[in-house]
Structure 1
Amino acid sequence: MKKIGFDPQKYIEEQSKYILERVNKFDKLYLEFGGKLIGDKHAKRVLPGFDEDAKIKLLYKLREKAEIVICVYAGDIERNKIRGDFGIPYDMDVMKLIDDLREYELEVNSVVITRYEGQPSAKRFITKLERRGIKVYTHVAIEGYPSDVDAIVSEEGYGKNPYIATTKPIVVVTAPGPGSGKLATCLNQLYHEHRLGNAAGYSKFETFPVWNISLKHPLNIAYEAATVDLKDVNMLDYFHFEKYNEVAVNYNRDLEMFPVIKRIIEKITGKESMYQSPTDMGVNRVGFGITDDEVIKDASRQEIIRRSFSTECDFKKGLLDEEVLNRMRIIMEELALKKTDRVAVLPARQYAERLKAKSENQDSVSVIAFEMPDGRVITGRSSCLMDSCSAAILNSIKVLANIADEIPLLSPAVLETIQKLKTEDLHSRVSALNANEVLIALSISAVINPTAKLAYEKLSGLKDVQAHSTVMLNNEAEQILRQLGIDVTCDPVYPSENLYYV
């Protein structure tokens, strides 16, 4: 059984109370939300028991007092930057986020396109949003930002960007990913609010690093692993220690930016800032939800290993440079972690080696191993009929349903018909059925086949499975596994010599 080390209810109560305390210090609070607002898989993995939708549920609790502004950097739209966990570009993620927020009865005020220079893709996106009734603002890059405070806090700085009219005491400023301009948007609003005579303030809600646990705690190191491409490094908040003689953890970018942000706020408000450290600016209370530190440490170590595999695969695909790869290796060495500390890795590799010894076709050796929540390991291999993900899913739900291995869940005739449609009618060069196709076949078979129905009903039992593949999976396979609640890692090996058809 999965061990729990975090109390989500205690966290939401503590967090909402603390945010409201901060709100009460101002007429209006601009709250910069870092990380993922919905579906925070990283937090869920490193804090077993954490609700991946805790942030959105927190906002739902505060919905009468809150409205949302979404920022997206025009350059990210232009280069079609992809959000890795959903496999969709940032512009599509903004629209998805608006839909999700509306489902929680949260008011989306507007979308801000930051550092806008008339980029064609960004311009098309603005048109698309406006024709769907979404208010859109554009902010230009400010010359001298962030160091020239006098230029920034002036009519030629923040004054050039439009004011976003807001009405509620909490304005949450969020984005699809880092570097989207959330901070600049908050400070831009502060400038206009104070020119209008409104007592507005700024705070930051960033789940990681966790300020009130040790610098080298695996939970905080897991954050470094998660942001290794951004070159984030955790550090002691020396501003906080100097002022309060209290140890707190923050990260390099916030520490570097703090003196500038403090000066900008003081320039805008005309008085000394209430914040004496980056930690002061934050409202994060996630550390107070931890109930079992050892469980959190173990989960964080596993997350670091998972991130290490991900980094190596991205390097193999040409998405990261060698400096990032080496930094990830240093993090692994810092905690004396090995790839094989992930339970599913060795069984997958060993099975693949056995298959490789028997096979002349090296492209066909693809194995995935599932570590089930009860500790059992179940494998699946690719074949001419289906890929390894499909095989592992079917094998696993058969085990969960106590169905003998020799009993087929799907009629070979049905699978062959689907395969014929795929290759002969739809002209696919990949004949093996993928997980999506096999699951559709299973769901149809479940209507008329009691055995298939029994297995189909066990799909929910795959939640929290830890998986490892001996080859890199395509985006579609990763998405299917993610939707089933399976965390998968891959060896940095291409499944074939083909450059496109994999």
Structure 2
Amino acid sequence: MKIGFDNEKYLTMQSEHIRERINQFDNKLYLEFGGKLFDDYHAARVLPGFAPDSKLRLLKQLSDQAEIVIVISARDIEKNKVRGDLGITYDSDVLRLMDSFGDNGLYVGSVVITQYSGQESAQLFKNRLENLGIRVYIHYNIAGYPSNIPLIVSDDGYGKNEYIETSRPLVIVTAPGPGSGKMATCLSQLYHEHKRGIHAGYAKFETFPIWNLPLKHPVNLAYEAATADLNDINMIDPFHLEAYGKTTVNYNRDVEIFPVLNTIFEKIYGKSPYKSPTDMGVNMAGNCICNDEACREASRQEIVRRYFASLNSLVQGTSSEEEAQKIEILMNQANVTVQDRKVVEKARERSEETQGPAAALELDDGRLITGKTTNLLGASAALLLNVIKELAGIDHELHVISPESIEPIQKLKVDYLKSKNPRLHTDEVLIALSASAANSSLARKALEQLPKLDGCQAHTSVMLSDVDIKTFKKLGVQLTCEAVYETDHIYH
């Protein structure tokens, strides 16, 4: 994949811009940090060259000035809300985030439980954190939020929330996921700081949509596809256009809430520091694109991947038909079809030839490799072996794992672990390959090719198990699947 984004320029420019914003206020800035901090793979896919840990590296550059406040909604704790990408609950992710920040030398000052109205599960989580020595603050529901501004900006509104004690000029407010109450936490702090005579500031750090790219640029369309379940819509920022005569891009929720925010700022400060939602942002990503066409193509491919993901979710009953339809419209706007994803047609052709599940992968140089289902291997496991043999220059007729070593694993699965599927999954075939590498130079050579799969495209003719999906993800393979179950069983 061609590089389209200058990551080092981004880190330098972004950190400088945040420091400038801190200096605009009384050396106190509450920065609402949206998106994923440690593993922003969406940004890495649509801006090739963007490192998934760029935001973390950015924070490390600011570590001497920054402290982190993690926000979680009491409602999400009560519902046991789960992060789809990690499969863990939001309250567990708070602990994961704290460990990850600490391991990277970043200071986490406290946790805030928002939208609290006496939920027992939230109180238990608060007790658990405090027993671990973590400071916890409670923020409450405010009747009529966000429209009842006289109540919100009063001692019975923001004033009722516990004041978060912070010690550094830059306060990063982050959360396990959207809807946690990051913005409300920041605004509540502005109210409390103002009462203490401190003119603190607020800014927002969201990578997407990129404000200084065109509205229908594929990078921005890919963001709409990624948030189709939230029904986010990119739009021209009318407040910025009116104030400055410049066309910039924001999204509907920020544009809709801005008049309310502006009034809140005026109530707190006497005058709003911002004239538009775009003004509130500090994102410099658009200035660091070094190959626009590479980013356009990467984003078009991302939209197709999101389309297949939405079809899979629809079949699994976890999303609506409207979500898939919205992404289909975005595909039309980006002038891309599923045929533009080469591995799709190749996997379909192989499946038709073999009358069974099949898979295809595109290597960096454009070669297309396929895999089919056999008595020993599932299609995705067979694909992995075929790909690494191709990369290692090993004849496809040669075995890098002997069939004799696979049979005991199948016996373990079926006879002892009571699995109904004797075929090896991707993780099992890689373990078998690793074991073979101890005595086989061919197996060792094949195993050494795995890092080359990072960034490759793959498609399967059926939906895969969670195990196989996670294996491809760990290898960095960008996977899509047909929205078809491998069997006609009702329970999957």
TM-score, normalising length: structure 2: 0.97
- Of 333-342 and 477-486, more deviation after overlay is shown by 333-342
| Corresponding residue SS for 2:71 | strand
| Corresponding residue SS for 2:290 | coil
| Corresponding residue SS for 1:344 | helix
Q: Which residue of 2 aligns with 1:143?
A: 143
Q: Which residue of 2 aligns with 1:72?
A: 72
Distance, in Å, in 2 between the alignment partners of 1:119 and 1:424 is 46
Q: How does 1:90-239 map to 2 (within 5 A)?
A: 90-239=90-239
Distance, in Å, in 1 between the alignment partners of 2:166 and 2:467 is 40
**Residue 48 of structure 1: CA displacement?**
0.8
In structure 2, relative to structure 1, the CA distance for the partners of 1:415 and 1:128 (3 Å cut) is farther
* Alignment check: 8 A CA contact 1:29 1:201 kept: yes
**Residue 230 of structure 1: CA displacement?**
0.8
Distance, in Å, in 2 between the alignment partners of 1:476 and 1:125 is 30
Instruction: Give 1:485's aligned amino acid.
Output: G
Q: How does 1:261-280 map to 2 (within 5 A)?
A: 261-269=261-269, 271-280=270-279
Distance, in Å, in 1 between the alignment partners of 2:130 and 2:432 is 41
In structure 2, relative to structure 1, the CA distance for the partners of 1:78 and 1:478 (3 Å cut) is farther
**Residue 413 of structure 1: CA displacement?**
2.2
Q: How does 1:19-418 map to 2 (within 5 A)?
A: 19-26=18-25, 27-269=27-269, 271-356=270-355, 365-418=356-409
In structure 2, relative to structure 1, the CA distance for the partners of 1:319 and 1:385 (3 Å cut) is same
- Of 158-167 and 79-88, more deviation after overlay is shown by 79-88
Distance, in Å, in 2 between the alignment partners of 1:340 and 1:231 is 26
Q: Which residue of 2 aligns with 1:3?
A: 2
**Residue 100 of structure 1: CA displacement?**
1.5
Deviations 1:1-26 (A, max 9, x none): x2111100001111001000000112
- Answering whether residue 473 of structure 2 is matched by residue 482 of structure 1, we say yes
Distance, in Å, in 2 between the alignment partners of 1:325 and 1:281 is 32
- Answering whether residue 430 of structure 2 is matched by residue 439 of structure 1, we say yes
Distance, in Å, in 2 between the alignment partners of 1:500 and 1:266 is 56
- Answering whether residue 414 of structure 2 is matched by residue 423 of structure 1, we say yes
Which residue, out of 436, 460, 465, partners 2:451? 460
Distance, in Å, in 1 between the alignment partners of 2:154 and 2:487 is 58
**Residue 114 of structure 1: CA displacement?**
1.8
Instruction: Give 1:291's aligned amino acid.
Output: C
Distance, in Å, in 1 between the alignment partners of 2:228 and 2:299 is 15
Instruction: Give 1:144's aligned amino acid.
Output: G
Q: Which runs of 5+ in 1 are unaligned?
A: 357-364
- Of 417-426 and 283-292, more deviation after overlay is shown by 417-426
Deviations 1:72-98 (A, max 9, x none): 222223333332222333222222222
* Alignment check: 8 A CA contact 2:221 2:334 kept: no
**Residue 201 of structure 1: CA displacement?**
0.8
Distance, in Å, in 2 between the alignment partners of 1:148 and 1:176 is 27
Distance, in Å, in 1 between the alignment partners of 2:395 and 2:326 is 46
| Corresponding residue SS for 1:115 | strand
- Of 63-72 and 473-482, more deviation after overlay is shown by 473-482
* Alignment check: 8 A CA contact 1:468 1:488 kept: yes
Instruction: Give 1:206's aligned amino acid.
Output: E
| Corresponding residue SS for 2:342 | coil
| Corresponding residue SS for 2:116 | coil
**Residue 320 of structure 1: CA displacement?**
1.3
| Corresponding residue SS for 1:448 | coil
Root-mean-square deviation (Å)? 1.4
Distance, in Å, in 1 between the alignment partners of 2:295 and 2:395 is 37
Distance, in Å, in 1 between the alignment partners of 2:16 and 2:473 is 33
**Residue 112 of structure 1: CA displacement?**
1.7
* Alignment check: 8 A CA contact 1:86 1:479 kept: no
**Residue 118 of structure 1: CA displacement?**
3.7
- Of 374-383 and 69-78, more deviation after overlay is shown by 69-78
Distance, in Å, in 2 between the alignment partners of 1:93 and 1:313 is 25
* Alignment check: 8 A CA contact 1:397 1:458 kept: yes
Equivalent pairs counted in the alignment come to 491
**Residue 433 of structure 1: CA displacement?**
1.6
| Corresponding residue SS for 2:165 | coil
* Alignment check: 8 A CA contact 2:237 2:250 kept: yes
| Corresponding residue SS for 1:230 | coil
**Residue 139 of structure 1: CA displacement?**
2.0
In structure 2, relative to structure 1, the CA distance for the partners of 1:438 and 1:294 (3 Å cut) is same
* Alignment check: 8 A CA contact 2:206 2:283 kept: yes
Distance, in Å, in 2 between the alignment partners of 1:92 and 1:437 is 28
* Alignment check: 8 A CA contact 2:216 2:333 kept: no
Instruction: Give 2:306's aligned amino acid.
Output: R
Instruction: Give 1:16's aligned amino acid.
Output: S
- Of 283-292 and 104-113, more deviation after overlay is shown by 104-113
**Residue 61 of structure 1: CA displacement?**
0.3
**Residue 425 of structure 1: CA displacement?**
1.3
| Corresponding residue SS for 2:360 | strand
Deviations 1:177-196 (A, max 9, x none): 11111101111111111112
In structure 2, relative to structure 1, the CA distance for the partners of 1:394 and 1:126 (3 Å cut) is farther
Deviations 1:250-304 (A, max 9, x none): 11100000111111122122x2111000000000000011011111111111111
* Alignment check: 8 A CA contact 2:458 2:477 kept: yes
Distance, in Å, in 1 between the alignment partners of 2:177 and 2:286 is 23
Deviations 1:145-197 (A, max 9, x none): 10111101112111221111100000001112111111011111111111122
Distance, in Å, in 2 between the alignment partners of 1:430 and 1:99 is 37
* Alignment check: 8 A CA contact 1:213 1:249 kept: yes
* Alignment check: 8 A CA contact 1:87 1:475 kept: no
Instruction: Give 2:330's aligned amino acid.
Output: I
- Answering whether residue 449 of structure 2 is matched by residue 450 of structure 1, we say no
Instruction: Give 1:279's aligned amino acid.
Output: T
Identity of paired residues, percent?
52
Q: Which residue of 2 aligns with 1:362?
A: none
Q: Which residue of 2 aligns with 1:361?
A: none
In structure 2, relative to structure 1, the CA distance for the partners of 1:194 and 1:213 (3 Å cut) is same
**Residue 382 of structure 1: CA displacement?**
2.5
* Alignment check: 8 A CA contact 2:373 2:382 kept: yes
Distance, in Å, in 2 between the alignment partners of 1:389 and 1:97 is 32
Deviations 1:325-347 (A, max 9, x none): 22122112223321111111000
Instruction: Give 1:311's aligned amino acid.
Output: S
| Corresponding residue SS for 2:483 | coil
Distance, in Å, in 2 between the alignment partners of 1:133 and 1:497 is 51
